[in-house]
């Protein structure tokens, strides 16, 4: 009887081992299939094997845990009425950046905003067949004498930041602008073919956006601002507050008080573009930091943005082939 019980126990243990081994093998093979379907092929075949039609796709896996621990494909990039309700943690953080406004004011503003401006889901057309190339153009003095103009203009989207002009600098910075990303204090007139993207660091920024196209009564925030703006209302877009917080949490790793407009623009490009080239970020080769249109010296590590860490993150993105940075002279 004892021998029988031992044999029976051995059989149960063996059967259980086989059962769990089969389950483990099934899960392993299933995950391997999913992994291989996401991973970019190393072969130079015609379709590239990636998640877009470009040679190098931002969203390709490439066995890169560092990138995908930070990159969230489900985060909303642009605000619309449907996604305008803010999660408590987002609203609490966003409200902490400002001294004005309250929740009911924000809710009222949403109705006004999307009675004036497009209430759309933007850039949800990613596919295996799309290759959207984007140039993110910063304002660094390293653009001077770079002769990048023609290269910049060759991209599908050319995203410029704040006041960076093109007139008089076409050879170095190009002449094409499809998107200009601003906040009220950095606003400039743009032509009717350019998308105006506002980064709302405060509720007053949304009130200002409404004002410049309607009553034109807001002339000051913490400094004087333009009361009106030449721009096309049908091409206005608003960066979602949740996206700003996401950039701060995931990419800035909470360095500084909030991310810079340039850094937000770069991470935004990772979400709406398939291939991202970056121009006009960083110092000149002599170590000086200034705008190509303004010789006043500055330093990226000062201010509220955690610029040292932003710069390191951009260099890491380049090292991992998620962006390519042209560093000029």
Query: What separation, in Å, do the N-terminal and C-terminal C-alpha atoms of the chain show?
Result: 88
**Residue 305 known to be catalytic:** yes
The residue annotated as part of the active site, out of 155, 179, 240, 305, is: 305
**Residue 258 known to be catalytic:** yes
Residue 237 in contact with residue 78, Cβ under 8 Å?
Answer: yes
The 10 Å Cβ neighbour count of residue 124 is 8
**pLDDT at res. 30:** 36
Give the three-class secondary structure for 65: helix
Rounded Cα distance, 209 and 200, in Å: 9
Rounded Cα distance, 208 and 51, in Å: 39
Rounded Cα distance, 158 and 180, in Å: 8
Tell me the three-class secondary structure of 150-161, residue by residue: HHHHCCCEEEEE
> pLDDT by residue (tens digit) across 107-125?
999 999 999 999 999 998 9
> pLDDT by residue (tens digit) across 211-269?
999 999 999 999 999 999 999 999 999 999 999 999 999 999 999 999 999 999 999 99
Residues in the annotated binding site:
98, 139, 162, 222, 258, 262, 282, 291, 305
**pLDDT at res. 15:** 57
**pLDDT at res. 9:** 52
Rounded Cα distance, 265 and 232, in Å: 20
- Cβ contacts of residue 326 below 8 Å, gap of 6+? 146, 148, 151, 277, 278, 279
Distance from the Cα of residue 78 to its chain's centroid? 10
The residue annotated as part of the active site, out of 258, 290, 292, 326, is: 258
Rounded Cα distance, 291 and 139, in Å: 5
Q: In 55-142, where do the E strands start and end?
A: 133-137
* Short-list 161, 158, 98, CA closest to 133: 158
Burial class (CB in 10 A: 0-12, 13-18, 19+), 28: exposed
Rounded Cα distance, 133 and 156, in Å: 5
Residues in the annotated binding site for substrate:
98, 139, 162, 222, 258, 262, 282, 291, 305
The 10 Å Cβ neighbour count of residue 328 is 22
Rounded Cα distance, 165 and 118, in Å: 26
Characterize the bridge pairing of strands 275-279 and 133-137: parallel
Distances from the Cα of 119 to the Cα of 77, 79, 115, angstroms: 13, 8, 8
* Short-list 216, 218, 237, CA closest to 228: 216
Residues of the chain with pLDDT under 70: 1-49, 61-63, 99-104, 296-306
């Amino acid at each position: 009887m004892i021998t029988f019980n031992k044999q029976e126990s051995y059989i149960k243990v063996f059967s259980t081992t086989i059962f769990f081994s089969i389950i483990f093998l099934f899960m392993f093979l299933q995950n391997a299939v999913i992994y291989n379907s996401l991973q970019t092929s190393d072969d130079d075949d015609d379709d590239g094997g990636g998640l877009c039609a470009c040679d190098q796709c931002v969203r390709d896996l490439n066995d890169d845990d560092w990138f995908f621990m930070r990159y969230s494909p489900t985060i909303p990039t642009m605000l619309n009425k449907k996604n305008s309700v803010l999660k408590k943690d987002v609203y609490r953080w966003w409200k902490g950046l400002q001294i004005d406004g309250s929740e009911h004011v924000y809710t009222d503003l949403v109705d006004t905003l999307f009675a004036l401006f497009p209430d759309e889901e933007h850039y949800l057309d990613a596919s295996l067949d799309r290759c959207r190339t984007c140039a993110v153009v910063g304002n660094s003095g390293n653009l001077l004498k770079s002769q990048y103009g023609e290269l910049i203009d060759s991209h599908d989207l050319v995203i410029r930041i704040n006041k960076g002009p093109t007139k008089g600098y076409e050879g170095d910075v190009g002449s094409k602008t499809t998107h200009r990303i601003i906040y009220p204090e950095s606003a400039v007139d743009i032509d009717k073919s350019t998308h105006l993207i506002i980064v709302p660091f405060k509720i007053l920024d949304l009130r200002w956006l409404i004002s410049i196209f309607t009553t034109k009564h807001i002339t000051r925030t913490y400094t004087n601002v333009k009361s009106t703006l030449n721009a096309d209302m049908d091409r206005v877009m608003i960066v979602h507050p949740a996206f700003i917080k996401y950039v701060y949490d995931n990419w800035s790793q909470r360095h500084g008080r909030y991310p810079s407009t340039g850094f937000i623009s770069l991470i935004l490009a990772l979400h709406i573009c398939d291939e991202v080239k970056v121009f006009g970020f960083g110092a000149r080769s002599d170590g000086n930091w200034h705008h190509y249109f303004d010789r006043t010296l500055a330093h990226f590590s000062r201010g509220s943005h955690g610029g040292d860490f932003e710069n390191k993150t951009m260099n890491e993105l380049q090292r991992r082939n998620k962006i390519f940075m042209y560093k000029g002279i």
